[in-house]
Amino acid sequence: MNQIDETNFMQNLIPELQAQGYEVYLQPTAPVVPDFLAHLRPDAIAIGKGKKIIIELVTSESSRQKKTEALANLVKQHPEWELRVLVVTPANRTDDLRIQSMEEIQTFLKEVRDLEMGGHTTGALLLAWGTFEAISRRLVFSDFARPQSPGRLVQLMAQDGYITPSEADRLRALAQKRNAIIHGNLDVRADRTDVTEFRQILERLAAEPVSA
């Protein structure tokens, strides 16, 4: 796998794991790597919340199948560890996204508000995250030319001063709800306060001038 692919992927993944309370080690070595892995050094290890996760990055056409299978067989013997095999988009695929017009963004903001007012708060939350990424890409295209994770969106927008530390903390909490829903945990619900606060942040950001 191309090193650039791994770096781009980890820039998205690390903030999400850190927001969930994990310490992430890239290209880890002893003593982080457990003895039972021997020479099969994983791409990353995340430790926290009473869990230990081995992270292996692959592409859909990866030649690492034997290593992944070997890791899976070893982890089966150590239930305190979990193996996550994550698919990375190859660098030669075009995932760049265009900048949305202000009219398009305002249309989506209206849909967020309509869903909110209609009581469809979970749907409004998910649409709000897409709108957040579109606004962020419009404001700072150089940082957001490619698809982003919620964690990295929040991290970079906070670093650039577009959102306050307290807003960043609130959005990280909403990102956890978003991730739970996206990945099938349908017991999680967004409430009216969640959506209202998020929408108000989005409306303020939509009024920000675009950087040169």
Length of the chain as a residue count = 212
pLDDT for 102 beyond 60: yes
Domains and CATH numbers, the chain: 3-87 (3.40.1350.10), 102-206 (1.20.120)
The pLDDT value recorded for residue 124 is 93
pLDDT for 212 beyond 80: no
pLDDT for 198 beyond 70: yes
Q: pLDDT tens-digit profile of 117-130?
A: 999 999 999 999 99
CA 114 to chain centre: 26
Reading phi first (left if > 0) and then psi (alpha if -120 to 50, else beta), residue 8 is in alpha
The pLDDT value recorded for residue 181 is 86
Residues of the chain with pLDDT > 90: what percent? 34
Residues of the chain with pLDDT > 70: what percent? 84
**Residue 100 corresponds to which tokens in the numbers above?**
């949305």
Classify residue 132 by burial, with Cβ atoms within 10 Å: 0-12, 13-18, 19+: buried
Q: pLDDT tens-digit profile of 37-62?
A: 867 778 889 999 788 999 887 765 44
Q: Residue 65's pLDDT band (boundaries 50, 70, 90)?
A: low
The pLDDT value recorded for residue 56 is 85
The pLDDT value recorded for residue 61 is 47
**Picking from 103-112, 116-125, 175-184, which range would have the lowest pLDDT averaged per residue?**
175-184
Q: pLDDT tens-digit profile of 11-41?
A: 667 888 888 888 988 878 778 888 888 677 7
